């Protein structure tokens, strides 16, 4: 076995010595054409695999020093070795996670702007979403939900539909009916935004009387429950 290995080594040395200048030039040209051959549309995946096997003896994969980093320790067929650092793509949640400065800006704008207005403001400032797109109201809504950013504060002394319903022991649909018929005063910053409702002492007495007189209300031990429109 030892004699065969020695004979093989001698043959390889003699073969290398007999390479002519033309052959050497051809090898160099082939190496120079490798990138073009690799990217050619006629080169198929199985061809690229064969090319790699002809060049690379083996590859050892190790973890890098940084998170989501790999080290590819390549051993070439000629005996040379090389280490290549490879950064893995971020996980999907990380890819769409917004930096703190964007969240802080949305929080600042949300003090007196709704989602549409915030999206328009960020667009004017040249800011893009985590996927490099223009902000939309739905994107802003998701960011506010994810980071618990409240919407515009309700004017002092006003109530929401839910709070009015809770105050008088009725369903929200009844409160909307009161708004539509002008029984209570309610305002919106613009269409689609929540109502802000002002309840004066006089309105409070009137609504309580309406609830008490209604024949479609069943009174529980604490609150009244509306079965239909009052």
Is the Cβ–Cβ distance between 185 and 174 less than 8 Å?
A: no
Question: What token pair was written down for 81?
Answer: 């070795």
Q: Is 171 among the domain residues?
A: yes
Q: Is residue 37 part of a domain?
A: no
- 113 and 168 housed in the same domain: no
Give me the phi and psi of 82, to 5 degrees please: -155, 140
At residue 123, φ and ψ (nearest 5 deg) are -65, -40
- Determine the Cα–Cα distance for residues 24 and 15; give it in Å rounded to an integer: 13
120 belongs to a structural domain: yes
Whether residue 48 is contained in a domain is answered as no
pLDDT value at 1 more than 80 = no
In a domain, 40, yes or no: no
Query: Distance of CA 147 to CAs 2, 16, 133, 142, 165, Å?
Result: 71, 67, 20, 9, 28
How far apart CA 207 and CA 202 sit, in angstroms, is: 9
Tell me what the mean pLDDT of segment 109-119 comes to.
89
Pick the last residue of a domain from 107, 122, 146: 146
Q: Is the pLDDT of residue 121 over 90?
A: yes
In a domain, 185, yes or no: yes
At residue 164 the predicted structure's pLDDT band, cuts being 50, 70 and 90, is very high
Check: pTM over 0.75? Answer yes or no: no
Tokens of 4: 């065969």
Within a domain: 211:
yes
At residue 178 the predicted structure's pLDDT band, cuts being 50, 70 and 90, is very high
Tell me how many domains the chain contains: 3
Examine residue 24 and state whether it is found in any structural domain, yes or no.
no
CA distance to 164, 174, 178, 218, per residue, from 161 (Å) = 5, 10, 10, 21
* Same domain, yes or no: 80 and 115: no
- Only one residue has tokens 């506010």, namely 144
pLDDT surpassing 90 at residue 7: no
Angle 60-63-67 from CA coordinates, rounded to 5°: 150
| Domain around 66 | 56-88
Helix spans in the chain (H): 2-17, 21-32, 34-39, 45-55, 92-95, 100-109, 115-124, 137-146, 161-168, 172-180, 201-213
Q: How confident is the model at residue 222 (pLDDT cuts 50, 70, 90)?
A: very low
Is the Cβ–Cβ distance between 139 and 129 less than 8 Å? yes
Q: What pLDDT, on the 0 to 100 scale, is given for residue 219?
A: 42
Q: What is the mean pLDDT of residues 101-107?
A: 91
Mean pLDDT in the chain? 79
pLDDT-derived band of residue 223, with 50, 70 and 90 as boundaries? very low
Task: Check if the beta carbon of residue 210 is closer than 8 Å to that of residue 230.
Answer: yes
Mean pLDDT, residues 189-205: 86
**113 and 63 in one domain?**
no
Looking at residue 15, its pLDDT comes to 55
User: Which carries the bigger pLDDT value, residue 65 or residue 172?
Assistant: 172
**Residue 99 and residue 137 share a domain:** yes
């Amino acid at each position: 076995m030892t004699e065969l290995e020695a004979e093989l080594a001698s043959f390889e040395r003699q073969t290398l010595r007999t390479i002519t200048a033309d052959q050497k030039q051809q090898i160099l040209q082939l190496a120079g054409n490798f990138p073009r051959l690799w990217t050619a549309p006629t080169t198929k995946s199985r061809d690229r695999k064969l090319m790699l096997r002809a060049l690379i003896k083996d590859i050892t994969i190790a973890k890098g020093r940084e998170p989501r980093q790999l080290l590819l320790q390549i051993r070439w067929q000629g005996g040379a070795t090389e280490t290549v650092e490879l950064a893995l793509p971020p996980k999907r949640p990380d890819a769409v996670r917004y930096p703190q400065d964007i969240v802080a800006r949305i929080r600042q704008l949300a003090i007196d702007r709704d989602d549409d207005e915030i999206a328009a403001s960020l667009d004017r400032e040249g800011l893009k979403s985590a996927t490099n797109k223009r902000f939309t109201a739905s994107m802003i809504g998701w960011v506010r939900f994810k980071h618990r950013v409240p919407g515009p504060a309700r004017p002092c002394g006003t109530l929401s539909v839910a709070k009015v319903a809770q105050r008088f022991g009725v369903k929200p649909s009844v409160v909307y009916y009161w708004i539509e018929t002008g029984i209570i005063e309610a305002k919106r910053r613009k269409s689609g935004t929540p109502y802000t409702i002002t309840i004066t002492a006089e309105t409070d007495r009137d609504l309580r009387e309406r609830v008490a007189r209604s024949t479609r209300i069943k009174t529980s031990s604490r609150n009244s429950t509306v079965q239909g429109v009052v």
